[in-house]
């Protein structure tokens, strides 16, 4: 019974830690940063701007081919 409780505790801690690290990994942040911290306006602008540059680059490549 003691072994089952220990395994269950390890499973719960592993799932919580995995969700925390996974959330930060998806958002391109430090892995152990606070996942509930909101992005600043500058971070949002950088993300949007890089997306616009990539789509513009793709459009130019299609026009030149």
Please write the tens of the pLDDT for every residue from 28-51.
888 888 888 887 888 777 777 777
Residue 17: what pLDDT?
Answer: 95
Interatomic CA distance for residues 61 and 40, integer angstroms? 32
pLDDT at 62: 83
Q: How many residues does the chain have?
A: 65
pTM over 0.75: no
């Amino acid at each position: 019974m003691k072994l089952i409780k220990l395994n269950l505790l390890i499973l719960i801690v592993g799932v919580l830690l995995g969700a925390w690290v996974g959330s930060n990994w998806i958002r391109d942040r430090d892995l152990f940063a606070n996942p509930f911290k909101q992005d600043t306006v500058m971070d949002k602008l950088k993300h949007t701007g890089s997306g616009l540059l990539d789509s513009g680059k793709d459009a130019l490549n299609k026009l030149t081919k």
